[in-house]
Structure 1
Amino acid sequence: MIPRGDDPGDPTFRAQRLRLVWLLAIPFLLLSEPSPPRLIVGFLISVPGLFLRAYAAGSIHKEKELARGGPYRHLRHPLYLGSFFLGLGFSIAGGRWWFPFLYAGLFFWLYGRTIRAEERRLYALYGVEFGSYRDSVPAFFPRRKSAPPVPETEGFRFRLFRRNREWQAGVGALVGFGLLFLRMYLMG
């Protein structure tokens, strides 16, 4: 394994990114004005993000092989795209018109750095194999024609989903929407 160094792909940076999310959750909840329609729309936007994250997490064997199966046939960063929709749903459910704009700005700032560092690291790990993959598979917006199937890495594996601890995103989403619902009820 190639050391990650001091970059956005580094585990410390990821931990700091997660801390930032939790730190921002407090003012988000205090400033939020959820309503039934906003909660429903936000939830409906978040759920596909959760499913995409789950599918991607069950299709990636981190640090062992270049992910090219499952959703990785169609886009290079399905976990991040899923995260985007998950967070966008929360920002809409929060009920303030400016939440989605603030969220999108923070997301692209943080994840833009993360993606650039991750792609440099993947190129260092996998070389030409990653270069070819990067050239044939778009980062976020799938093309009509996906990359050719890779049988040995194809599909969802529940053990990878568990190993990658993706269930935590689902629990976090339930807690988050539960808190927004409680906030709406208390505002009453």
Structure 2
Amino acid sequence: MSKKPWSIQRLRVPLGFVVAALYLWGATRSPWLSWRSLALGAAVAVIGLVIRAWAAGHIVKNDRLATTGPYAHTRNPLYFGSFLLAAGCALAVHWALLVAVAVFWLAVYAPVIKRERAFVSARFPDAYAEWERHVPSFVPRVTPWRGGGSAASGDAPPFDLKLYLFHREWQAALGFLGVMAWLAYWTWRRQTGG
């Protein structure tokens, strides 16, 4: 997947920073921002962060097909976790922002998921076909799929902190803390008249 076609998919990270900056600016002007909305949004976002961290500690890109841990629930736990993270940040400001999150996801991440599916299924054709039959693409199944490879034999690789650090997933946690601190500051300012 080294050669990516020119599209909005190539801009997803820079576009994400632009959207985040607009969000942070707009959040300071939101009349709906409150401690309650902040708590609700943070709770949803933390679930997304945990899913992303769990996934980052299981994936070895291009080396083996990850089908255990969160990958036994959804084929795209990193994107699902990112969706919850973005949805939580949206809920912190106003529930209507969930529409913007959904539109952004459909426009940017649905094509990415489709392209990555083609790449991974070509790299691991038999294993991917079996996994795809049992594990949904995005919304997780409740019980983990126990089939395929090492998961079936009981020697599934555990969460690996080195992989988590290698994938720099801690940056998402720091970014989340920064956003929540920003929103908490503006909530406090609004409530104290500062």
- Secondary structure at the aligned position of 2:38 is classed as helix
The worse-fitting range, judged by mean Cα deviation, of 137-146 and 16-25 is 137-146
Report the counterpart of residue 42 of structure 1 in structure 2: 41
Q: CA deviation at 1:7?
A: 6.5
Q: Would you say 1:26 and 2:8 are equivalent positions?
A: no
Structure 1 residue runs of 5 or longer lacking an equivalent are none
Deviation digits for residues 136-162 of structure 1 (CA, Å, limit 9, x no counterpart): 211123335532225454321111111
| 2:80–2:139 CA contact under 8 A, matched in 1 | no
Q: Does 1:183 align with 2:186?
A: yes
Give the fraction of aligned pairs with identical amino acids, expressed as a percent: 30
Unpaired runs of 5+ residues, structure 2, are none
- Aligned pairs, how many? 182
- Secondary structure of 1:140's match? coil
| Corresponding residue number in structure 2 for 1:75 | 74
Q: TM-score, normalised by structure 2?
A: 0.85
Deviates more, 1:178-187 or 1:103-112: 178-187
TM-score (norm 1): 0.87
Alignment of 1:95-134 (within 5 A): 95=94, 97-134=95-132
Q: Indicate conservation of the 8 Å contact 2:49/2:85, yes or no.
A: yes
- Between structure 1 and structure 2, the one with the greater Rg is 2
Residue 161 of structure 1 corresponds to 164
Cα RMSD of the aligned pairs, angstroms, is 2.1
- Matched with 1:89 is 88
Which residue matches 2:58? 59
Deviation for aligned residue 1:20? 0.9
Instruction: Name the structure, 1 or 2, with higher relative contact order (CA <8 Å, separation 6+).
Output: 1
Moved more, 62-71 or 25-34: 25-34
